[in-house]
A and B are shown apart, each in its own frame.
Chain A
């Protein structure tokens, strides 16, 4: 049960490393440039789906990027308050950056 965060685009080594260690018990919160990994028809979103991890995207960043309506159905948008709740729910956090 780890909360992972990723703020780098899917082309990055950070994304590759994150992908290797995600498990179905984990949650991944995407923020900054990390949000693009959840674009619904992208190769990265397929790779993330295979892990079984729960996917969260920071809403402020998704709105800025214009991708709120381009995200996959399995993605949950979160605001900053929900972000804090996630960190409370998961005892450990791993930041990929």
Chain B
């Protein structure tokens, strides 16, 4: 966690991957900020954790693959993905089956995370 980083940005994503175009937009904002070498954190909250499910195959519904885009995040030096532990449990998702750079956080840890970034962008 970049506790003293200047202009660090936490992008909070709360939407499912294909229910709307919001999921892709939120990731693209994170990538754009990272492309400008800003420290970026990504926090998946609530329905947002559904973006982390692997083996997505959206060609049948004619949109691009969110899971693949998430796999490219390390190339933008977005190394750690934070996830809402409570939402993972509610959906019965096992963190072991999700991307390996995932860090599940409880409510108190998420509250602390909010304070650790200079800016928060909410989707």
Contact = CB atoms under 8 A, between A and B. Distances in A.
Q: Do chains A and B directly touch (beta carbons under 8 Å) in the complex?
A: yes
A67 B53 contact: yes
- Which 10 A-B pairs rank lowest in CB-CB distance, beginning with the nearest? A41-B92, A64-B58, A66-B56, A33-B19, A66-B55, A42-B92, A60-B60, A66-B53, A63-B57, A64-B61
Contacts of A60: 60-61
Where chain B touches its partner, the secondary structure class is loop
Interface of A: 9-11, 32-33, 36, 39-45, 60-61, 63-67, 69-70
Given A39-B92, A41-B91, A64-B18, 18 more contacts: A9-B19, A9-B50, A32-B19, A33-B18, A36-B16, A41-B92, A42-B90, A42-B91, A43-B90, A43-B92, A61-B18, A61-B61, A64-B57, A64-B61, A65-B56, A66-B56, A67-B53, A69-B55
Interface residues of B, number: 22
Interface string B41-64: 000001100100111111011010
16 contacts: A9-B16, A10-B90, A11-B46, A33-B18, A33-B47, A36-B50, A39-B92, A41-B92, A41-B93, A45-B92, A64-B60, A65-B50, A67-B53, A69-B55, A70-B92, A70-B93
Contacts of B94: 41
Which applies to chain A's interface (DSSP): helix, strand, loop or mixed? helix
Contacts of B17: 64-65
